[in-house]
Each structure stands twice: as structure tokens, then as C-alpha cells.
Homo-oligomer: A and B are copies of this chain.
Amino acid sequence: VVEEAMSPAGSSEQDSLSLLFLGLVAAVCLGLNLLFLTVYLICLCCCKRDAEPESKRPHSCCVTWTAVVAGLVCCAAVGAGFYGNSETNDGVYQLLYALDHANQTLAGIDSLVAGSTLQMGASLEQPLARLNEIFAARGDYVQSLKFVQQAAGNVARQLAGLPAWRDVSADLTALAGSVGYAEYYRWLAYLLFFILVLAVCLLACLGLAKRSRCLLTTMLCCGLLTLILGWASAAADTAAAVGTSDFCVAPDKFIMNLTESDISAEVVRYYLYCDQSRSNPFQQTLTVFQRSLTTMQMQIQGLVQFALPLFPTAEKDLLGVQQLLNASETSLHQLTAMLDCRGLHKDYLDALIGVCYDGLEGLLYLILFSLLVAASFSTIICATPRAWRHLASRDRDYDDIDEDDPFNPQARRIAARNPARRQLRSFC
């Protein structure tokens, strides 16, 4: 499956085929389970008439104990499921958190690039034009301003060469939104399923304790529904677990394939591996930005030192340009930090840990839960008709007298004649 899913051509089709296959396997399991239950119940009904009444008595305690053990297994299953549900939720939220942080970084890069481009273009244009007018008489000062203009043009050209992250950011936001939506309903659905399982278990206990046929019938119907839901959940979880582990075996290749058309492979590789020996694909841009900035700062510094005493009217514009260059330097440092692979690579690792450790672990617990629920409900469904037979035989034996009814004189007489019986029953 892994190799199939990872092959570049037709990987998604083969992926969905293999997941469909898993769904079919689960459906076959459910069918076999239901077939077995039907055959068992039919056998029980057919043999019921022939069996001699005396021989089945020793099994009655066995039926109750089976139901009790199945109920306990059910509770353990709900415990495991609760843990798995919470783990999966944790993993998915870690993924969402990492996606959100990566998104912030990408948006930050875009806004810094846009801001710097503006600073080096439109914001610089007006004061430089005014300074050009003021210094028009002095050729060397105008030459200095021309250098500054050239350097600003250089920076703007380099910044234009940086990749725009807007589309990637939008994709990540959409992904985070749909994952968060699906996860919320998945989590809620499992919580309701746990409550259903516990309610059916309680119903079984009450039905056996109160010997109520109505409760037992309701329990049987709900139990059948729970059994079907359990198998469906097992199928869905197995498919999700296989899909996730397929992804987790080689997430880098998957992401390389996915981003092939949008971002250059070199950039993706830089962020995916974040190897300090690998050269930063943005180093050229950052170096040119810094050098141009230094050049501009030196030129402006020279003008402030030598031209300002001669042209006092230029003070406001010169100092304005100087401030702009200092702000650009701050932006450059932030841009250097954001473009560095460490931040985004950490987000990538966090997301992977969330999906491939917590998420997958939670899914395995949920599969365990589904299988345990299927097993215990099969057992309960098998055990209930046997309890039914005991109810029937008891009704025959006791002529429909409710022994627990304190207003029933016969029951009170029995209790008075045989005082130890109630106490003995209570210890079974």
C-alpha cells in the first residue's frame, strides 16, 4: 500500500482503492458476524423445544457471568475508546496549531516583503525627488542620490524574486478549516457512540436484574445497531490509520509531490530537511538587500555630514530617508529570521508528531475499542436469548408469581420459610 500510495502516478486513485478494499473487508467481517449470530440464534430456538428442562439449569449462572464479563469488557472498551478519542483529538489539534503557526510565519513573510518593497519604492521616491531638486546644483551629491536610487531598485528587484506565499497560506488555511471541522464532528460522534454503548450495557444489566423482557428486547435492537456501528467505526478507523501511516512513512516525498506545481523544489527541500549544511536559497536576496542598505546608509550618512551644512532645507528629507533605512534594516532582520528554515521546519515536525504519533496512537485505540465493542455485543446478543429461556422456564415454574413483590403473600411466605435464600442470591 505504501509503495502504491507513494508512486507519483495515480497515487490517489490507488490510495482510495486500497481504502475501499479495507471498507469491504470490514463489511465482510460484519456480514460474517451477523451470519454467525443468526445461525446461533436459530440453532438456539430449534434446540429449545427438544432440550430437557432440568439439564439447562447449571448454565444459568454461566449466562449471567458471561453477560457481566461482556459488560466489563464493554466498559474497558469505552475506557480505551475515550483515551483514543482524546489522543486523536490532541494530535489533530497539534496539527492545527502547527498549521496556524506556519500560516502566521508565511503571512508575516509576505507582509514584510510587501512592506520592504513599498519602503524601497514609493516611500523613498518622494524625498529623493525633493533632495534631487535641492541638491541640483551639486553634481557629486546628485550622484550620491543616484546611487541610493539604484540600490533601492536592486533591493526591489531581489524582493520581487522571492516566492509569494499567499496561495500556500490560503491552502493551509482551507486545510486547517476542513480538518478542524471534520475533527470536531468525529470527536462528538465518538462521544455519542460511547454514551450509546454504555447505555446499552446499562440496559442489559437492568434487563437481567429486573428480568424485564421489554428491556431485553430494546437492548437487543440497540445492541444490533451498536454492533453495526462498531464494525463501521472499525472500518473507518482502520482506513484512516492505514492512510495516516502511508503518509507518515515518507511525508517529505508526499509534500514534494503536492507542492511540485506551486513552489520550487529547492525551497521545499530547504524547509523539509533544514540541514545547516544545505545553503539557504534566499541568501543571495538577503545579502543584496543588506549590502544595498549599507550602501544607501553610507551615502545618506555622507550627505548628512557634508551636504546638510550647505543645504539646511534638506534636513527633514535626509533624516526621513535615514529613518526609513533604519526601519528597513529592522524588517530585514525579521525577514532573515522568518525565512530561515528553523521556524517552519519546527512547525512541520510538530505537525508530523501530532498526526503520526498522537493521531495514529489514538486511531489504534479506537480500533481496539470498536473490535472490543463488536466482540462484547456479539456475546451479549448470544447470551440474552439464553437468559430469556430461563425467564420463560421460571415463569412456568413459578406460575408467574413475582417473588420480589413485597405485596405478594406467597413470596412473603417463601421468604419466611427459607430465610437464607435472599441473602444467598445476593452473593451470586
Residues of A at under 8 Å CB distance from B?
54, 57-58, 60-61, 63-65, 75, 79, 82-83, 86, 90, 101, 105, 208-209, 211, 276, 279-280, 283, 286-287, 290-291, 294, 297, 329-330, 333-334, 336-340, 342-343, 346, 390, 393-394, 397-398, 403, 418-428
Contact = CB atoms under 8 A, between A and B. Distances in A.
Contacts of A424: 394, 403, 421, 425
If over half of A's interface residues share one DSSP class (helix, strand or loop), that class is named, otherwise mixed; here it is helix
A333 B428 contact: no
Contacts of A330: 279-280, 283
Contacts of A54: 419
A338 B274 CA distance: 13
A216 to B, nearest CB: 12
A101 B330 CA distance: 25
A420 B418 CA distance: 13
B61 A101 contact: no
Given A209-B428, A337-B340, A418-B418, 19 more contacts: A54-B419, A61-B426, A75-B75, A208-B427, A276-B334, A279-B330, A283-B333, A291-B294, A291-B297, A336-B336, A337-B337, A337-B342, A338-B340, A394-B420, A394-B424, A397-B419, A397-B420, A403-B424, A421-B425
26 contacts: A54-B419, A57-B422, A61-B425, A61-B426, A63-B426, A64-B426, A64-B427, A75-B75, A79-B79, A82-B83, A101-B346, A105-B342, A276-B334, A283-B330, A291-B297, A333-B336, A336-B337, A337-B337, A342-B343, A343-B346, A393-B423, A394-B420, A394-B424, A397-B419, A397-B420, A425-B428
B346 A342 contact: no
8 nearest A-B pairs in the assembled complex, by CB-CB distance = A337-B340, A425-B428, A60-B423, A425-B425, A61-B426, A64-B426, A336-B336, A337-B337
Nearest to A79: B79
A60 B60 CA distance: 22
A138 to B, nearest CB: 25
A333 to B, nearest CB: 5
A282 to B, nearest CB: 9
Nearest to A336: B336
A150 to B, nearest CB: 16
A151 B390 CA distance: 98
Contacts of A65: 426
A228 to B, nearest CB: 26
A287 B294 CA distance: 9
Contacts of A287: 329
A287 B332 CA distance: 10
A421 B424 CA distance: 9
A294 B290 contact: yes
Contacts of A394: 420, 423-424
A329 B394 CA distance: 92
